[in-house]
Amino acid sequence: MSRIEILKTYKIYIGGQFPRTESGRYYVAKNKKGQALANVCLSSRKDVRDAVVSARNAVGGWSGRAAFNRSQILYRIAEMLEGRRAQFIDELIKQDSSAKDAETEVNLSIDRLIYYAGWCDKYQQVFSAVNPVASSHFNFSVPEPTGVVSIVAAQNTALLGLVSVIAPAIAGGNTCVVLASEDKPLCSVTFAEVINSSDVPGGVINILTGKPSELVKYFANHMDINAVVYCENDTATKKLIQEKASLNVKRVLFYDTINWKNDEGQSPYFITDTQEIKTTWHPIETVGSAKAGY
Amino acid sequence: MTAEKKIVTVPDFRYSPHIDHVGVEERASRFTKRSIKAESKLNGLKLTLNMIDLTTLEGKDTDGKVKQLCYKARHLHDAYPGLPTVAAICVYPSMVSVAKKALGNSGINVASVATAFPSGQASRDVKIRDVKYAVNNGADEIDMVISRGRFLQGDYNFVFDEIAVVKEACGAARLKVILETGELVTYDNVRKASDIAMYAGADFIKTSTGKITPAATMPVTLVMLEAIRDFYYKTGKMIAMKPAGGISKSKLALHYLVMLQETLGEAWMNNHWFRFGASSLANDVLMQLEKERTGVYQSANYFSVD
CA distance B224 to chain A (A): 32
Architecture, CATH, for domain B17-290: Alpha-Beta Barrel (3.20)
- A224:B300 CB<8 A: yes
Q: Which residues of A touch B297 (CB under 8 A)?
A: 48-49, 52, 218, 221-224
C-alpha span between A120 and A170 (Å, rounded): 9
- Condensed to tens digits (0 to 9), the pLDDT of residues A151-187 reads 999 988 889 999 999 999 999 999 999 999 999 999 9
- Position A19 in a domain: no
Using a CB-CB cut-off of 8 Å, the residues of chain A touching B302 are 223, 248
Mean predicted confidence (pLDDT) in A116-130: 96
pLDDT digits (tens, 9 = 90+) for A197-255: 999 999 999 999 999 999 999 999 999 999 999 999 999 999 999 999 999 999 999 99
Among the residues of chain B, which ranges form H helices? Answer: 21-30, 38-50, 63-74, 96-103, 124-136, 148-153, 156-170, 187-200, 218-235, 250-263, 281-294
Q: Is the pLDDT of residue B83 over 80?
A: yes
d(CA A162, CA A273): 16
Q: Assess whether pLDDT exceeds 50 at residue B292.
A: yes
Nearest CA in chain B to A49: B297
Catalytic entry in B100, B130, B206, B284: B206
- Position B1 scores a pLDDT of 46
CATH number of the domain enclosing A167: 3.40.605.10
pLDDT of A221 reads 95
Q: Which chain A residues are closer than 8 Å to B299 by Cβ?
A: 56, 222-224, 248
- Domains contained in chain A, number: 1
Please enumerate in sequence order all residues whose Cβ is within 8 A of that of B300, keeping only pairs 6 or more positions apart, or say none: A224, B283, B287
CB pair distance less than 8 Å for A49 and B297:
yes
Give me the interface pTM, i.e. the ipTM: 0.83
Contact by Cβ (8 Å): B130, B113: no
Chain B residues touching A222 at Cβ < 8 A: 296-297, 299
Calculate the average pLDDT of chain A: 94
A47 domain-assigned? yes
pLDDT at residue A219, rounded to an integer: 97
Give the chain B residue whose CA is nearest to the CA of A50: B297
Contact yes or no for B302 and A52 at CB 8 A: no
The alpha carbon of residue A132 and the mean position of all alpha carbons in its chain are separated, in whole angstroms, by: 35
| Whether B65 is catalytic | no
A135 pLDDT more than 90? no
SS3 (DSSP) at B118: coil
Decide if B60 is catalytic.
no
Cα A215 vs. chain centroid, distance in angstroms?
17
Per-residue pLDDT, B305: 81
Asked about B143 being catalytic, the answer comes back as: yes
Above 70 in pLDDT, residue A289?
no
Interface membership of B22 toward A (CB under 8 Å): no
Parent domain of A248? 26-283
Mean pLDDT computed over B151-169: 96
Per-residue pLDDT band at A43 (split at 50, 70, 90): very high
Chain A and chain B share a number of CB contacts under 8 A equal to 24
- As a whole number of angstroms, the distance between CA B247 and CA B261 comes to 18
Interface contact flag, B297 A248, Cβ < 8 Å? no
Distance CA(A19)–CA(B220), nearest Å, equals: 29
Chain A contact probe: residue of B290, B299, B301, B302 with most A CBs at under 10 A: B299
Considering the domain boundaries, does residue A157 fall inside one? Answer: yes
pLDDT over threshold 90, residue A286: no
